[in-house]
Amino acid sequence: MLFKSLICWDLLNSVNKMEPVIQIKDLNKSFGDSHVLRNFNMAINAGENLAILGKSGSGKSVLIKCIISLMEVDSGEMIVLGKDIQLLNSDELDSLRAEVGFLFQSNALYDSMTIRENLEFPLRRHWSKEERKKGADAAVKEALEDVGLSHTIDMMPAELSGGMRKRIALARALILRPKVIMYDEPTTGLDPITSREISNLMLSVQKKYKSAALIISHDLNCIKMTSNRVIMLIEGTRYAEDTYENLRKSEDPKIKEFFD
């Protein structure tokens, strides 16, 4: 019994000492005189869904673009999967991005490509010709099965509904089996039923692949369904951090206005 207890204690210590998959320290980003992010801090643990809640124009999308180095920061530290992204060269950054899935708000599907070709696009960038020959077809089919759209494989994006295009964009984000998935307003522009379906799909993806997720949204229903923790982004700062339910019960006027 003592031996078993020691093993459990060692495992617990091991988990507690794990580095976050994303860690941001004192991040600052301005556009002229507009200070979008002010000494912003956050950490995401493996297998966790962290949501960033803020008003439109509050800097949520700027934050996510900074994390994957689509936008330069003024100052601060960003460690993604154990690597300081500001110290990486272009090849190292490209390799790291293969481990980070990104679901764009606009979906960013290629209209001139079939669904199959859209999903194969990341494989052409990150897999060798031999790897694609052996596994591309199976990878595309599994990704489409994950989002329940196997029958669309030879269709064009224009033939699909908005919700279906969102699912295809998620399938493309999943195809390289990323350790982290970033969702930029995943339910914007969708009706309530489709939004709920996308939120449930995000949960099933997390369950299957044990991936971590950063969810940028102002959709309270999506955040309530999908998040383990929520950060309130107000005036460029991490104003508050807690579970959705605890924040919803807050008496702080700045927090209450999001839930009223």
Confidence tier at 189 by pLDDT (50, 70, 90): confident
Q: Which regions of 73-228 does DSSP assign to beta strands (E)?
A: 75-80, 83-84, 100-103, 180-184, 212-217
User: How much is the average pLDDT of 162-176?
Assistant: 93
pTM equals 0.86
Phi, psi of 119 (to 5 degrees): -75, -30
Q: Which residue ranges does the chain devote to CATH 3.40.50.300?
A: 21-99+179-260
Q: Write the pLDDT tens digit of every residue in 49-70.
A: 999 998 877 788 899 889 988 8
For the structural domain made of 21-99+179-260, what CATH number should be given? 3.40.50.300
Q: Does the pLDDT at position 2 exceed 80?
A: no
Pairing of strands 229-234, 212-217: unpaired
Q: Write the pLDDT tens digit of every residue in 11-61.
A: 444 444 467 999 999 999 999 888 899 999 999 999 999 999 988 777 888
